[in-house]
Each structure stands twice: as structure tokens, then as C-alpha cells.
Structure 1
Amino acid sequence: MKPKLLNYLALTAMLTLASAAGGLAQDRLNVLKIKTAKDLHAYFKYTGNDPVLIAGHRGGMVTGFPENSIATFENTLKHTPAFFEIDPRLTKDSVMVLMHDATLDRTTTGTGKLSNYTYEELKKFRLKDAEGNVTDFPIPTLSEVIEWARGKTVLNLDHKDVPLAMTAALIRKHKADAFVMLTVHSAAEMQYYLSQNKNHTFSAFIRNRKEYEDYEKANAPFSQMIAYIGPHVKPENKALYELLNKKGTMCMISAASSYDKLKTADERKAAYQAIAKDGASILESDLPIEAAEAVKEYTQKAHSKQRFFGKK
């Protein structure tokens, strides 16, 4: 075989291998290397030199990827490290599945109340994306999502219709307190969970001084929580940042009901950047990939928590 042909074939082979390697690299997930509840507390501890953390509200909402879906979580992690706020609900036969609404109509090919169906009956339905396109993705159980998340990310469980005791029991069953945290709407809810496991981590609604004082009076473990302070950048946030940051608590602003709704990408980018500049430690969004790109100077800064970030 002629040398020129051999060189051409060798070059073609090298380019093919490089292309394949590039494809594999692109498919790798940005993961959070959190192994213990103590690690989780350290990951969320406010230090004064932290990257802005990205939270995917219901996982994220991109064309072709429905909310509260494992496929969507994985798609988000291909682009950015993130943790995910998700929505457990109960089926007729008390299986915990992910579904934000009490009804199936908006997000699935089914109709009516979720609680009217057994899990077996739900298997025939498929999820829709935010634009109403039907996908091939099924409704996942919370147990499936917990096992998927192990070694990859952190799950923040919102409180819908699942009794607190059932939620606590499922986390205990999966030994998942290192990467599953709990949204609480009151200090009383937090105290209940702590009675079941003193190592739990929380996302607490603290939107004003009174709510802050309620948690303080209850001797809440501020080192084991983040604080959701609302959906907007506003002057009142400064007082909450000061109170909570002093206790080592990160503050989260969620753009899901506010800035995510802006019509243009440029408007949204400016809003996401304003959240980071305002002093929030965590940016929650329905559009976590877009939000992460907008604030990358804040997410990719040098920081002491680098040990928690990796690829898989």
C-alpha cells in the first residue's frame, strides 16, 4: 500500500477516535461528590467565598425533556453541576412518584387526579415536556430517582401530599440522608424530621424576619440548611443575607415563578446575573442550563469546595 494512502488512513482513524472521544466527554455528567451527611452540610455551608450553586427546579424544562424526569436530570448534568428540587406525590396504592400537579393532564398523556391511579396503571402514560410534546419517558418513582441520584447529585424533596413520616421512612430505607434533603415550610416540620434523623439537611422557607425568628426560637440547626428567601431581587434581601450568612446558611432565590418567565434570553441573563450580584448563594431555575451559563463567572470561580465537584 502506498505511503500517502497509509498516512490518509491513519489520519482518518485518528480523527474518528478523537471524534468518538469527544462525544464520550460530552456525555459525561457533572457530579457532586458527596458521600456523607457531614459532606452535604459542608457543601451547603456559607463561607464567604462560595461559588453560586445551581438548582434545577423540577429538574429543568428543555424541549424534549419533561420536568421531574430522570432523563431531564441527566441532560442538565451534562451541562452543569446542579442539585434538583423535585415533587413526590402518592398514587392510589401509596407509591411515591414524581409529579408536581395533583392532576396528570398538564405533564402526562393521562387525565384526572394522580391519586385515582395505582402505580401499575400509571405505567401506560408518558411524560410531556413544557411545550406539551409527548416524550417516551415514564413517570418515575421516588425510589428509582433516589437510586439514580446516588453518587451523582443532591435531591431536594418538596412537600406535596406525602406524609412526613413516609418521606422520612423512605430516606431511611435507602440510607440516603447524604444526598436527599427536605423542603420545610415551618420550623415544626423541620423538628419532626430531626426527631427521625438528626443529620437531615433542609431547604427552609425563610422569606422575612419573622420566619427567621421562628426557626431561631426553635433552635434550628442553621448549619444543616439552606434558606429559600423568595423569587425576587429586592432591598429587603440584604437583611436576610446578613442574618443567615452569619450562621453559615446559604440563601436561595428561585427564578422559576419570576425571571424564568421573561420573554428573551438577554432579559433572563440579566436577571440571573442580578441574582448572583445581589448576594444569593443559590440560583434555582426552571432553566438551569441557561442560568448556569449566564452566571458562569460566579459558578466557576476559585473556591474551597472544589473537592465536591467532578465528572462521571
Structure 2
Amino acid sequence: MQTKYFIPVLAVLMLTGIYSKAPVKLHSIKTGNTAGLKDFMRYTPDRLPFICAHRGGPRKGFPENCIETFENTLAQTPAMLEIDPHYTKDGNIVLMHDATLDRTSNGHGKIVDYTLAELKKLRLKDTEGNLTSFQIPTLDEALQWAKGKTILVIDAKDVPIEVRAKKIVENGAQANAIVISYSPEDTKKCYSYNKDILMEIMMGKPEFITTHDNSGVPWANVIGFVSHDMPADKSIFEEVHKRGALCILGSSRNIDRQFTSGKINAEELKNGYLSLIGHGADVIEADLGIEGGAALKDLQTAKSSKSKYFSK
């Protein structure tokens, strides 16, 4: 076959399903059901540190909040994936960090001014501003995709916590998604709606721990987000652990930013991630999810009761 004919023929074969590329093997976090998810999120001294990829792990060629990006991250490391929901004009929920389209797509203006059908005609940009062939996904699509693969961490943006929790239930994704709560009121509201939904809640100050102690919401339903920076009071890690919950610490505003701006090298980045774990973090929410996963790889080979949840 001459080369000039190969590309169109291959395209036809792919469209008709006669030819398809081999599926990529993904690192997965499989909890099976809500009891498994609660057990996975329960702090134990033998826990295996891992990454939560901020906005799904975007990088060159792979946009934020994009299912193809999620797969690229999981192809290289086990990770939870933090995502951002926004309402469309017709009441659907799509994934995008900003309330506007301009930075991360070839669209313009506010998301809420477009219907889902209109948004699906757009294409996403990667971290370099290059246009890709990838579409804006819906929250429903992401929740269905995540089953048996990973755990989605659904931020708030303009979508109330009870709506995010309802979406998890509607998609039968209780084992594959948690919601972020920014207030004790929202935490109670979510627990009242469904006692199986897990929440990431703010734990940056000792008084936040006391507030949750008195909330009536079990610590089994919680993973604590400590801060985007190392807290002044490092006893927070120990106190959250005493209550049986894991601690998340963010790296996007410190070592990730230092690396991408050229202030530290790859070895210093790796040591930075390991230092966060050494100070008490169990999960690192990282912009550089793949690099973070590589830094923690050796820690994940330890014998652990959590090993059964990780596979490829």
C-alpha cells in the first residue's frame, strides 16, 4: 500500500471499528463499594501515600478537567483526580475550572451562557495554550468513566454540595467519588442527604477539628484537607490521624510552582514531595500529578493493608 493512501484508509478502519489501538493499561484505585471506599480512606499507620492530581493532571498535550488527561495521568501513576464542575445554560453540569471558556478552550465568555450542545462543539486547550481535539466532558460522563479506575474529588465552584452528592448517587458512583465541603453547614447537609457520601473538608486549624468533633458527622466520612502550605501547627496531622482520617496537603502553590518556574530542579521537587509525606501528609494534591506519583513510587511498595486497593 502506498503511503499517500495509508492515512485515509486507516482513518476509515478506525471509524468503522475494524482497527483500534490497543487499550492503555491504567493504574487504578478500586474500592468496590462504599464500605471499601471508607476503609481505603481510613488512616492506618501502614497507609500508602499517593497523589490527588489537581484538575486531573494537565500538562502539554492534555487539558485540565479532561477525560483523556485523566487517562494519561493514570497510565503513569495511581491517583485520585480533583475536578471542577460548572452549570451550563440548560442546567447540565460540565467540567471546567474557570467560570469562563477563554483560557482553556476555543470558546469565549461564560459557561453559563451556553447550552451543553453548544459547549460540546468546542475543543479544549492544553497547558501551553495549544488547541486539542478533546471535548469538554460532563460530570455524568466523568462519574461513569471513573468506575473501577479511580476516585474523583468534586470541587464546588457554582454547584451546591447536595447537587454534587445527588449526581454521585444518580450515577451509582458512591465508591468512586467524594465531594469537597467548605463549611460545617455543607458537611452536615451532605451527610443528611446521604450517609455514604465521603467528603474532603477543611482542617487547616486546630479549631476546625474541634468543630467537626461536634458536628455529628462521623470521621469515617471525612478526609481532611490541611492546607496548600505546611501548617504552622503540625499537630493537626496527628490529631486528624487519631480520629481515623487521612490528611491531604497541597503542593500546587509551593514546590510545583517553584519547579515550573525553574527555581528548583527535578531532584529537589522529588525531595519536596517526600518531605510533605514525612511531615504527616498521606495524600498530596499536586499540579504535577505524574511527577508526584513518581516521587512516591518507592513508598507504595511497602507491605500494607491498603495494597489490595491499588492495581494496574
Same fold (TM over 0.5): yes
How far has the Cα of 1:24 moved from its partner? Answer: 5.8
Q: Does 1:86 align with 2:83?
A: yes
- Corresponding residue for 2:8? none
**Normalised TM-score (structure 1):** 0.88
Query: What are the superposed Cα offsets for residues 66-105 of structure 1, whole Å, 9 maximum, x if unpaired?
Result: 1100001101111111111100110011110001101111
Alpha-carbon separation, structure 2, partners of 1:164 and 1:274: 33
Following TM superposition, by how much is the alpha carbon of 1:219 offset from its aligned partner in structure 2, in angstroms? 2.4
8 Å Cα contact 2:101/2:108 also seen in 1: yes
**Partner of residue 67, structure 2:** 70
| Aligned counterparts of 2:117 and 2:252: Cα–Cα separation in 1 | 32
Report % sequence identity: 38
Q: Which runs of 5+ in 2 are unaligned?
A: 1-20
Distance 2:272 2:26 in 1: 27
Distance (Å, rounded) in 2 between the aligned partners of 1:82 and 1:115: 30
- SS at 1:166 equivalent: helix
SS in 1 for 2:247: strand
Distance 1:171 1:211, change over 3 A: same
Counterpart of 1:249, as a letter, is A
Q: Identify the residue that residue 190 of structure 1 maps to in structure 2.
A: 187
Spell out the pairing of 1:1-16 with structure 2 (5 A cutoff). Answer: none
Query: For 1:249, which of 242, 245, 252 is the aligned residue?
Result: 245
Residue of 201, 208, 216 corresponding to 1:204: 201
Q: 1:53 aligns with which of 50, 54, 60?
A: 50
Kindly provide the CA deviation profile for residues 106-152 of structure 1, in whole angstroms up to 9, marking residues without a partner as x. 11111111111111111121111111111110000000111111111
State the one-letter code of the partner of 2:306.
K
Larger Rg: 1
Contact 1:183 1:202 in 2 (8 A): yes
Q: 8 Å contact 1:276–1:298 — kept in the other structure?
A: no
- Alpha carbon RMSD of aligned pairs, Å? 1.5
1:259 to 250, 255, 260: 255
Amino acid in structure 1 at the alignment position of 2:153: N
Are 1:33 and 2:34 matched, yes or no? no
**Equivalent residue in structure 2 for 1:170, among 167, 170, 184:** 167
Name the residue aligned to 1:148: 145
In the alignment, the residues of structure 2 paired with residue 166 and residue 250 of structure 1 have an alpha-carbon distance, to the nearest angstrom, of 25
Give the superposition deviation at 1:235: 4.5
Asked whether the equivalents of residues 187 and 220 of structure 1 are also in contact (C-alpha less than 8 Å), the reply is: no
Over residues 241-271 of structure 1, what are the superposed CA-to-partner deviations in whole Å (9 max), with x where a residue is unaligned? 1111001111110112222101232332221
Give the residue type in structure 2 aligned to 1:182: V
**Aligned counterpart, 2:155:** 158
3-state DSSP class of the match of 1:295? helix
